[in-house]
């Protein structure tokens, strides 16, 4: 394990999926401290409020002694530097993600030259899972249980019932 290295795993996590959880588990084993940074996400219309996303991500973080959760707004670079972070963790599912993430990593290197970006891929069985697909499948009545924790599944079902007026 690296000595004294703080890593930040930023994202919207709307909702957190088992793919995200796999990245958290592996990153927690690589770094002394992992902060899951949940974006306020003014630029997106999220299904879950910031507080709901923080709570759901907190369920995952609670399983690890060296993982915490915090909200952030603005440039992730500013959040990473304010936390004393040296590494930004990014999940990459495939070539499309890699192309975008490589561009983002290059820009982040320009903005914060002392912060490294580390790419981790989720388990092969989770590489097709995205928060967007989970939300869409759930809202259309499909089964997302294989892709999310039981707490997230319950939260998705509650959102669906609320929209249906149940």
Residue 53, phi-psi category: left (phi > 0), alpha (psi -120 to 50), beta (remainder): alpha
Task: Tell me if 12 sits within 8 A of 53, measured CB to CB.
Answer: yes
Helix (H, G, I), strand (E, B) or coil at 88: strand
Q: Which of 2, 44, 63, 128 is catalytic?
A: 44
Q: Is 2 a catalytic residue?
A: no
How far is CA 56 from each of CA 45, 85, 110, 135, rounded to the nearest angstrom?
18, 23, 32, 15
List the one residue out of 87, 97, 89 whose CA is nearest residue 129: 97
Does residue 131 carry a catalytic annotation? yes
d(CA 166, CA 164): 6
Residue 44 known to be catalytic: yes
Q: Residues in the chain, how many?
A: 166
- Which of 86, 90, 131, 135 is labelled catalytic? 131
Is residue 130 a contact partner of residue 100, using CB atoms and an 8 Å limit?
no
Catalytic hit among 93, 109, 159, 160: 93
Active site residue 150: no
DSSP label at residue 48:
S
User: What positions carry a catalytic annotation?
Assistant: 20, 44, 93, 131
């Amino acid at each position: 394990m690296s000595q004294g290295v703080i890593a930040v795993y930023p994202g919207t996590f709307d909702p957190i999926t088992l793919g995200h959880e796999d990245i958290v588990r592996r990153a927690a084993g690589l770094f002394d401290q992992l902060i899951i940074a949940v974006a306020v996400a003014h630029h997106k219309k999220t299904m879950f409020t910031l507080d709901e996303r923080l709570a759901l991500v907190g369920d995952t973080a609670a399983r690890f002694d060296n993982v915490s959760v915090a909200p952030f707004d603005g440039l992730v670079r500013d959040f990473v530097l304010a936390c004393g972070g040296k590494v930004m963790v990014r999940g990459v599912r495939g070539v499309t993600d890699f192309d975008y993430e490589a561009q983002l990593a290059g820009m982040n290197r320009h903005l914060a030259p002392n912060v490294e970006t580390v790419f981790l891929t989720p388990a092969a069985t989770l590489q097709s899972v995205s928060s967007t697909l989970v939300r869409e499948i759930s809202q259309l009545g499909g089964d997302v249980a294989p892709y999310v924790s039981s707490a997230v599944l319950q939260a998705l079902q509650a959102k669906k019932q609320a929209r249906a007026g149940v």
